[in-house]
Amino acid sequence: MQATTQRSYRYFDFVMVAFVIVLICSNLIGPAKIAQVNLPVIGAFTFGAGVLFFPISYVFGDILTEVYGYARARQVIWAGFAGLAFASLMASIVVALPPAPFWPHQSAYEVAFGSTWRIVAASMVAYFCGEFVNSFVLAKMKIATAGRWLWMRTIGSTVAGEAVDSALFYPLAFYATGIIPDDKLPLVMLAQFVTKVGVEIIFTPLTYKIVNALKRAEQEDMYDRNTNFSPFVLKE
């Protein structure tokens, strides 16, 4: 089924808002904390806390593309990009404002919200490329599989999208900075990639339930057979 440009949906806006909220929170709140847990066999596992929640944006990206199609998902990806840019700009301005003499928490605030522009730029580039790869791969796989094997599409597209995201973000953000030793970057990238894909796999049963419920409620099951896949076209 190919959607018309005038078609409106009951729940599309809710899914879009959920996507943008998860994206901004995972990028603004999560990166400030490095966590460590002890896992059986593996031992101590260190990770950025945001990695637990950022993959949820890929879950919503899968839902958007699967139900509403690539063109609608593209609009949401751009909305997320704009929201992330504004949140980053707001954080930098608020951090830069001179604190009142009686307010002792400036240093803590800077640690939590004072990401450098290199890290912010890397995050936005990686998000933009990774999300579009995720949506594109899922849309093409849906046609190739004739709509079967949703689990294969959601996991396969996430593997592609998260691989691009991790491969771009860590070198752009940390290479030659000394924050993470250059020889350790591949290990960090691999750990983050595996964790993100693992979260996607864990959420697969929930993704199935949401996708099936939305398809019934919206009477929509988009196949992107005649879609313009350029990331820079906002029209459907």
Q: Where are the alpha helices (DSSP H) in 97-178?
A: 106-113, 117-144, 150-174
Inform me whether the pLDDT recorded for 65 exceeds 70: yes
Domain 12-218 has CATH 2.20.200: no
Using DSSP, state whether 5 is helix, strand or coil: coil
The structure tokens 């691009």 sit at: 164
The structure tokens 């350029």 sit at: 230
Inform me whether the pLDDT recorded for 3 exceeds 50: no
Domain boundaries, the chain: 12-218
Structure tokens at 212: 């099936």
pLDDT at position 6 is 60
Inform me whether the pLDDT recorded for 98 exceeds 80: yes
Per-residue pLDDT band for 74 (boundaries 50, 70, 90) equals very high
pLDDT at position 192 is 83
Nearest-CA neighbor of 191 among 82, 47, 78?
A: 47
- Which amino acid appears at position 195 of this protein? T
Per-residue pLDDT band for 173 (boundaries 50, 70, 90) equals confident
Q: Are 2 and 227 in contact (CB under 8 A)?
A: no
Inform me whether the pLDDT recorded for 157 exceeds 50: yes
pLDDT at position 52 is 78
Query: What digits encode the pLDDT tens for the residues 22-34?
Result: 999 888 877 667 7
Per-residue pLDDT band for 236 (boundaries 50, 70, 90) equals low
Q: How far apart are CA 71 and CA 234, in angstroms?
A: 7
